[in-house]
Structure 1
Amino acid sequence: MKHYLGCFCIIFLLACSSNNKAIKVKGSDTEVNLAVRLAENFYKVNKEFSVAISGGGSGLGIASLLNGQADIANSSRPLNSDEIRMFNVRRIKLRTIVFAEDATAFIVQKNFPLDSIDVFTLGKILSGAYKSWKPITGQDMRINIYGRQSNSGTHSFVRKKLEIRFSPDAKEMNGNAQIMEGVKMDVSGIGYVGAGYILKDGTGQPVKILRISPKIGQPAISPLDQEAIRYGRYYFQRPLYQFIPETSWNKVAAFIDFEKGEEGQKIIQESGYYITH
């Protein structure tokens, strides 16, 4: 089965499925490939269910809950104050699950003359304070930024961690696949994607994953360093959320149990994410 990203849907259907066995999952593009793998394997042992999965960003998934169009919202960020208020106004009670942990990877072209970067310099780049690579690599090339739209949880996470506003020149892409493709084709490009989207060891990937130093002079760490992630040493690591309305809980409970079970946990790890304890 093909995996589609962005606003496209991955749908698992049974002709005889009843509404109380039809689960709709929407939201984070960071989580969408993982959600597909979990749903595929869940379906193998729960054929009475149908599961429809789509990406589009954390904000879209949360909005879908507010509009009664989803049973689970995958989100790479917590709810913001406006969203909490709207759920309260509509009297929608939610259950919140942290089902995995992810790290955001910063990528450049494979042969780009940079292997690591500190957080301060990265903020200068993504805010647009640095327009050229010259202060960093000595090459007088314009910096091209590939990022996500403002409704993306990853966009919000990176912005808050760097305490910046993104450069107005940054290209807003629909998802990880577009960012990867943009950076792959751009000798002066830099972008960010979910580390879980990249193969664990990066083998065969057409991009370079930068190691990140929290401060100038401190060790630089890769988002693929499992030990560093386990001990919370990578600067851009974060929990991944699932928000579920109470009215959908009975419907989705079997799927959540599968995620938390031995097979689900194995799939999470094999997909390049980290399990929570």
Structure 2
Amino acid sequence: MVMKRIRPIGLTYLGLVVLTVIYSCTSKDHSIKMKGSDTEVNLAVNLAEKFTAIDPSFSIAISGGGSGLGITSLLNGQADIANSSRPLSEEEIEQFKKKDIALKTVVFAEDATAFIVHKDLPLEELDLETLAKILDGTIKNWNELTPVNLPINIYGRQSSSGTYSFVKKKLKIEFSAAAKEMTGNAQIIEGVKVDKSGVGYIGAGYVGDEPETKQGIRLIKIKETPTAVAYSPNDIEAINNSLYFFQRPLYQFVIASSWEKVRPFIEFEQSDKGKEIIKDHGYYIKD
């Protein structure tokens, strides 16, 4: 889990805090708690650092742990913002209704889920049916797909992860019981880069330039059928045209009672500077 308190170090935030808020705010009123998606946590930390450099009256505490944890924290009054890489489930919507907790929803970026293998595995692309059979354990050895005779090791996420839920829902599968449950994207990359039989799924924003030489992993292109065109999660044109199968919006759920407090930060995310930071992290803005 990543926990970071962003310390104020800069200038006033361009007058976006309205007078009624300025007069009523205490230090507590400018303390924001943000929890949830590991896919979003590094981006959230960078956005918060840049925002508090502009408005030093804010203190923002950020932790990961998965989308489900962030949403549960909202329900329990332990967060103002839940970062989530999936929408609310019907059950969660009902839980908020029962507690009479109103939410505001912000979609601030577009993400793609990338599938990775060790850099030495001679595999370039997969269709959805084959990918599903790998992740549910039907295909157990790489020799069914490549010349490499190694048992497949799956590096996945815990069930509280929005990425876990997203992949499971898109492929309509149950993950293999043998799949390793890693705590985040960085751990999956570390696992796969030292395991020549490894395969995993991560947020594409965690894939750097030249992943084979710098991270020891290979991105797998995805095609919907065996005869379809395969697309990479870092293909900007494909993302802009919604051609990559595993792309999704990234959400921030905000407690309505906290909205006035967090609104300056949300407005910063939506500013040109915020959008530049989002893109620099490997995510996308779709107007």
- Pairwise TM-score range, normalised by the shorter structure: over 0.9
| 2:261 alignment partner, one of 223, 234, 251 | 251
| 1:273 alignment partner, one of 256, 262, 283 | 283
Query: Per-residue displacement from partner, 1:140-164 (whole Å, max 9, x unpaired)?
Result: 2100000000010000000011110
Report the equivalent of 1:187: 196
Report the equivalent of 2:58: 49
- What amino acid maps onto 2:232 in structure 1? S
- What amino acid maps onto 1:36 in structure 2? V
Report the equivalent of 1:36: 45
Report the equivalent of 1:3: none
- What amino acid maps onto 2:286 in structure 1? T
Report the equivalent of 2:116: 107
Q: Give the CA deviation at 1:14.
A: 5.6
Report the equivalent of 2:158: 149
- What amino acid maps onto 1:276 in structure 2? K
State how 1:169-248 maps to structure 2 within 5 Å.
169-200=178-209, 202=211, 204-248=214-258
Q: Distance in 2 between matches of 1:171 and 1:249?
A: 38
Larger Rg: 2
| 2:271 alignment partner, one of 258, 261, 273 | 261
Q: Distance in 2 between matches of 1:68 and 1:141?
A: 47
Task: Tell me if structure 2 keeps the 8 A contact 1:201–1:224.
Answer: no
| 1:61 alignment partner, one of 42, 65, 70 | 70
Between stretches 82-91 and 136-145, larger displacement belongs to 136-145
Match of 1:20, SS state, is: coil
What is the alpha-carbon root mean square deviation over aligned residues? 1.5
- What amino acid maps onto 1:257 in structure 2? E
Q: Give the CA deviation at 1:200.
A: 5.0
Task: Tell me if structure 2 keeps the 8 A contact 1:99–1:276.
Answer: no
Task: Tell me if structure 2 keeps the 8 A contact 1:59–1:153.
Answer: yes
Q: Give the CA deviation at 1:201.
A: 5.3
4+ runs of 1 displaced by more than 6 Å? none
Q: Does 2:4 match 1:10?
A: yes
Q: Distance in 1 between matches of 2:208 and 2:45?
A: 16
Q: Give the structure-2-normalised TM-score.
A: 0.92
Q: Distance in 2 between matches of 1:39 and 1:179?
A: 25
Task: Tell me if structure 2 keeps the 8 A contact 1:125–1:131.
Answer: yes
Q: Give the structure-1-normalised TM-score.
A: 0.95
| 1:166 alignment partner, one of 138, 154, 175 | 175
- What amino acid maps onto 1:157 in structure 2? F
Q: Distance in 1 between matches of 2:214 and 2:200?
A: 18
Runs (5+) with no aligned partner, structure 1: 1-6
Query: Per-residue displacement from partner, 1:65-121 (whole Å, max 9, x unpaired)?
Result: 000000100000000011111100000000001100000000001111101111110
Task: Tell me if structure 1 keeps the 8 A contact 2:238–2:244.
Answer: yes
- What amino acid maps onto 2:68 in structure 1? G
Task: Tell me if structure 1 keeps the 8 A contact 2:153–2:197.
Answer: yes
Q: Distance in 1 between matches of 2:2 and 2:114?
A: 24
- Identity, % of aligned positions: 57
Task: Tell me if structure 1 keeps the 8 A contact 2:2–2:41.
Answer: no
Task: Tell me if structure 2 keeps the 8 A contact 1:73–1:244.
Answer: yes
Match of 1:106, SS state, is: strand
Q: Give the CA deviation at 1:276.
A: 2.8
Q: Distance in 2 between matches of 1:103 and 1:8?
A: 22
Aligned residues: 271
- What amino acid maps onto 1:76 in structure 2? S
Q: Distance in 1 between matches of 2:228 and 2:6?
A: 47
Q: Give the CA deviation at 1:138.
A: 3.1
Report the equivalent of 2:18: none
Task: Tell me if structure 2 keeps the 8 A contact 1:200–1:224.
Answer: no
Q: Give the CA deviation at 1:214.
A: 1.0
